[in-house]
Amino acid sequence: MKLSEILFNSVEHIWNSYLTHPFITKMADGTLEIEKFKYYMLQDYVYLKDYIKVFAVGSTKSNEFDEIKFFCDNMYAVLDETYKVHIPYMKRLGITEKDIINVTPHIDNTSYTKYMLYEGQNGDMLSCLIAILSCSWSYAFISKKIVEKNKSCLENETYGEWFNGYYCKEYQETNEKLIQKVDNLSNNLSQKTIDKLTEIFVNCSIYEAKFWDLAYDSKNHQN
């Protein structure tokens, strides 16, 4: 069994819970309160700063140019998406420069990203990729499953852009390349290593669940 299959099997029940989370379902039917989404976008912006750094850490784990290039290409792709898509999206929602500058990371957000960086810094290339993959793959999973069930979500004036961004062919293909890289690097792993990588993947998936919770909890809508 491929490592990616082992990883997916370990979190399928967690990822399925995302599909019924009120933040996701209300985005899909267009009824999510806009302030909740604004808060999510700001927290996601903060998250991306450390998410990008995990790719940078991964680039230090190899002396091979092709491996270094893989991490750097992905790092710059996330940076490019942040400036070309994420920030303009926030501005269209009415999020100001002051809001962006003054946003306070939620404690669960900080815990998540620092955990990713810790596992990446104390592990190898594969550890970095596993920490990254939970977010990337689960977003591809969510968008695909929701769109299959309700294609009209792609047309929503406010949230359609979010679903389109992760459902589109380009994003799905980029995510598949991450999965393939994980499988390519996972030959001849010991059971102990597989268990550790699975633990990282499960923990990151639990953090993803907490991210949806913090985004939906109106008590947290403070910058």
List the catalytic residues: 135, 208
Buried-exposed string 114-148: b where 16+ CB fall within 10 A, e elsewhere: ebbbebbeebebbbbbbbbbbbbbbbbbbbebbbe
Taking each helix axis from N to C end, the angle separating 107-122 and 191-216, rounded to the nearest 10 degrees, works out to 160
Rounded-to-integer distance, Cα 156 and Cα 140, Å: 18
Beta strands in the chain (DSSP E): none
Rounded-to-integer distance, Cα 59 and Cα 177, Å: 16
Angle at 41 between CA 40 and CA 45, to 5 degrees: 115
C-alpha torsion sign, points 200, 48, 31, 103 = positive
CA dihedral 114→119→121→122, nearest 10 degrees, is 140
